[in-house]
Amino acid sequence: MDSLSLVGVSSLTRTISSLSLSSSSSCSDAVSTPGTERSLLFDDYDQSPINRADAGESFILVVGGLGYIGSHTTLELLKEGYNVIVVDDLSNSYLEVLDRIWLLAKEYLKTINRTLPSLKFHKIDYRDPAMRSVLATYDSTDGLGQSRSRISGAIHFAAFKSVEESISKPIPYYQNNVCGFVDFISVLEGFGIKNLVFSSSATVYGSMANQGVPLREEHCVHQQETYVDQLGQQRTVEGGVYGLTSPYGRTKWMCEAILADIARADPSWTITALRYFNPVGCHESGLLGEDPRQKPTNLVPVIMSVLEGERPVLQVFGTDWDTVDGTAVRDFIHVVDLARGHVAALAAAAKRPLREPFRTFNLGTGRGHSVREVLRSMEKASSRTVPVKEVARREGDVGSCVAEVRRAEAELGWRTQKSLDDCSVDVWNFLELSKRGQQI
């Protein structure tokens, strides 16, 4: 995926033209926002106001909005007509992703004849004290002279996410993912922004994933809860979880626990923690993709690096799990479905109060696929064979991790639409397009 990062803006524009997307827009109008290194505004204010009764003057703040999941979510928000403010320090992303999001949003909205919302970008570390100045620019004064933020909700993607790196460097993980996050919550609260979507992970289920049953939200709670299990038995579960296997996983669990405490103390918050299963795939255009700066360790990016010739072989970690074919089983969710889950979470929070001010949701398909099935799917999409070496289980892995998805379906009105094969086709398209982009 490094190849994507090498696609210059001019070749990108040519690539995009060849895809029949509008290329009339790019980063524009550098403006200065106090305290930030640089701000870019994408404004279409000269056009008629957006066609959403509730979105005209309000924004969704997307922190880490140019990364893998953040970029797809920003695009889906724009497609739904939300005005978006992206905050990203570009430490693990590229500015040209912003162009790509904007072009894809424009192209889509043109096809359905809808007016473009607004996209604003601030290059800043979300922990920087200058974030207060950024947020202050979105304050407005109401008829009674009261200051009110035009940011109606925030989504946080700016966490570090490498399991391996978190084991070797736990301090930056706790500093960024926990300390920085708590400071950020306090800044949001100071501006009266109390609607938050938090990127959590199925990793919070710890050793519950070893039990071979679909994971439900009640398997990891932050205060005592009673629920009815799949056999109709009433169960009481205590807050806490066993068997977290990495500092990364602990940061996710800690942040959830902190958010649960905050919501309990102040129920005027609406906090949605979305527990991602295994996000894979990319936008079908091939213009948005995954992890341009980090060496991949997750399954699909590793298969991609083998297909690109950057690695000689895919190591399959463990063939002795108690699963259909002995390889581990995961719930692979297409990143566009995942992104739409965030939009559904915001919409649900806006329409009606959540059942509790802090509420967790699994974002998965509810269906497991083995490592070998993923491999076969990628081989089919690419019409290539991936060389494989079977090795021992990877430390900290679990055999099976699949979501129970009923809560998200019932309360968010969301479910996945894309298959594993869709993921593979889109990822292969992304690889092919990146290569062609470089040659144009």
Kind plus residue range of the DSSP H or E element containing 348: helix 335-351
Nearest to 186 by CA among 142, 138, 148, 135: 135
Q: What beta strand segments (E) does 13-58 contain?
A: 30-31, 38-42
Q: Nearest approach, Cβ of 281 to ligand UD1 (angstroms)? A: 13
Question: Which residue, 11 or 294, is less far from ligand UD1 as judged by CB?
Answer: 294
Show the tokens assigned to 282: 């990319």
Question: Which residue, 91 or 315, is less far from ligand UD1 as judged by CB?
Answer: 315
Q: Quick check: 170 binds ligand UD1 (CB under 6 A)?
A: no
Interface with ligand UD1 by CB under 6 A: which range of 37-45, 129-137, 244-252, 340-348? Answer: 244-252
Beta strands 329-330 and 139-141 are unpaired
Distances (CA, A) of 428 to 7, 121, 252, 301: 17, 29, 30, 11
Q: Nearest approach, Cβ of 67 to ligand UD1 (angstroms)? A: 12
Find the binding residues for ligand UD1 in span 293-312 (CB under 6 A).
Answer: 297-299, 302
List 108, 174, 227, 317, residue binding ligand UD1 (CB under 6 A): 317
Q: Nearest approach, Cβ of 202 to ligand UD1 (angstroms)? A: 6
Q: Quick check: 394 binds ligand UD1 (CB under 6 A)?
A: yes
Active site residue 108: no
CA 287/CA 292 separation, integer angstroms: 12
User: What is the residue whose two structure tokens read 């895809």?
Assistant: 19
Question: Which residue, 33 or 200, is less far from ligand UD1 as judged by CB?
Answer: 200
Q: Quick check: 245 binds ligand UD1 (CB under 6 A)?
A: yes
Q: Nearest approach, Cβ of 36 to ligand UD1 (angstroms)? A: 29
Q: Quick check: 367 binds ligand UD1 (CB under 6 A)?
A: no
Q: Name the active-site residue from 173, 205, 248, 276.
A: 248
**300 — phi, psi (to 5°)?**
-65, -45
Nearest to 215 by CA among 81, 400, 348: 400
CA 238/CA 218 separation, integer angstroms: 9
Where in the sequence numbering do the catalytic residues fall?
Answer: 248
Residues that bind ligand UD1 (CB under 6 A): 161, 163, 201, 203, 245-246, 248-249, 276, 278, 297-299, 302, 314-317, 328, 330, 371, 394, 396-397, 401
